[in-house]
């Protein structure tokens, strides 16, 4: 019997996860389908239970459900518990829901193995303080940066996230408008501003010619953040396609016990 999987979010029409997982399935010979489901926040709990009844075996989770999903599953892996956010759900035969988070390993694999970005002793700025940020902080702190700063429109939100992870390493919180004059080696956009065609109100001074800029979002053309960083002359500007593929490969391995080769899939997607 063909096993069913999918990705849930709101909105979800932009997601390329179905394409990626179908390519993985074809590459590995796994008998599975993978679809996208638009689930508004108020319907998440009910739809999750419906997915269980319908026999779906696993789900990827994207904006805006990652933090809420961590409260809905029955059990969290260590990395999901640490992040306080879930991007991968494993649905057992008895209906038990296990939550995991593959965002951190996906990002580190893309930055390090695929793009050659050095994280040890780097000064890192993350824009945004939502579930996506929570998913990547443990992995980034584990890479040994000199400095990790979370910036958000509201300082309270950034401080909440920073305090959650302070036991893992030095981490600071700032409002966007407090960043003027600060410089960073790596700037990661984890806001949803791009979905509205916007860029977070960050001082242009954070992007220097030597800065590597990375957008967790992705699009067939430059995202607003990537277009902004290119105009400011950033040394490197990358969309989150590579992270998307790498975190998907980790989820695929969790579900199927087979690790797909990401290189041919990454080659089919924009950078």
CA distances from 134 to 67, 94, 218 (A): 9, 29, 19
Is 54 in a helix, a strand, or coil? coil
Is residue 100 within 8 Å of 86, Cβ to Cβ? yes
Which entry of 16, 66, 120, 268 is annotated as an active-site residue? Answer: 66
Separation CA 216–CA 85 (nearest Å): 16
Whole-Å CA distances, 84 to 75, 131, 170, 200, 223: 12, 8, 19, 24, 27
User: How many Å apart are CA 175 and CA 208, to the nearest integer?
Assistant: 19
Is 66 annotated as catalytic? yes
Helix 241-256 crosses helix 17-28 at what angle (to 10 degrees)? 50
Contact 138, 80 (CB under 8 A): no
Residue with tokens 């001074």: 205
Return the structure tokens found at 203. 């001082």
Query: Where in the sequence numbering do the catalytic residues fall?
Result: 66
């Amino acid at each position: 019997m063909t096993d069913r999987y999918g990705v849930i979010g709101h909105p979800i029409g932009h997601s390329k996860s179905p394409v990626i997982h179908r390519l993985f399935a074809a590459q590995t010979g796994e008998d599975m389908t993978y679809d996208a489901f638009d689930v508004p926040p108020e319907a998440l709990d009910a739809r999750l239970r419906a997915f269980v009844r319908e026999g779906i075996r696993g789900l990827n989770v994207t904006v805006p459900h990652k933090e809420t999903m961590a409260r809905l599953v029955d059990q969290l892996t260590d990395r999901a518990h640490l992040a306080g956010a879930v991007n991968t759900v494993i649905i057992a035969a008895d209906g038990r829901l296990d939550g995991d988070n593959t965002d951190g390993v996906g990002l580190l694999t893309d930055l390090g193995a695929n793009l050659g970005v050095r994280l040890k002793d780097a000064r890192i700025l993350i824009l945004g303080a939502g579930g996506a940020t929570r998913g990547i902080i443990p992995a980034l702190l584990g890479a040994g940066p000199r400095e990790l700063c979370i910036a958000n429109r509201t300082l309270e939100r950034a401080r909440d996230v920073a305090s959650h992870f302070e036991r893992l390493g030095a981490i600071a919180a700032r409002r966007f408008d407090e960043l003027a004059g600060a410089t960073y080696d790596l700037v990661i956009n984890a806001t949803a501003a791009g979905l509205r065609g916007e860029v977070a109100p960050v001082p242009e001074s954070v992007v220097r010619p030597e800065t590597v800029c990375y957008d967790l979002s992705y699009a067939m053309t430059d995202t607003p953040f990537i277009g902004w960083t290119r105009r400011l002359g950033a040394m490197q500007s990358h969309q989150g396609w590579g992270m998307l593929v790498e975190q998907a490969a980790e989820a695929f391995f969790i579900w199927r016990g087979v690790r797909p080769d990401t290189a041919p899939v990454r080659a089919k997607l924009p950078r």
